[in-house]
Amino acid sequence: QVQLVESGGGLVQTGGSLRLSCAASGRTFNSYTMAWFRQAPGKEREFVAAINWSGGSTYYADSVQGRFIISRDNAKNTVYLQMNSLKPEDTAVYYCAARYGRATSRIGEYDYWGQGTQVTVSS
């Protein structure tokens, strides 16, 4: 069982930056692939980024490639999402997710989810 708690969301202007954190419980954090998803009002939840257990492989949605960076610190049981050059279309609730297996963008493949943190980008 893994419990995930996101933090770091907030209100930022276009072009600004935010760093989200996701703290995980459990002693097997370094066995899990971690990912970030987001859900804007009236839209389906979508994949943002994923990172494998070691941090050696990362994956991004085309919409955030080059602007967002996912990383993890296994000693702190924490995964991060550094978001730069933010746009109004990045406004959403951001969710952290975990799965025991290879990285994937498929929402249904993730077993554990956090409660989400709101990110609002003003124009």
pLDDT tens digits for range 51-93 = 999 989 999 999 999 999 999 999 999 999 999 999 999 999 9
CA 58-69-51 angle, to 5 degrees, is 25
d(CA 91, CA 104): 23
pLDDT cut 90: percent of the chain above it: 92
What's the pLDDT score for residue 1?
Answer: 81
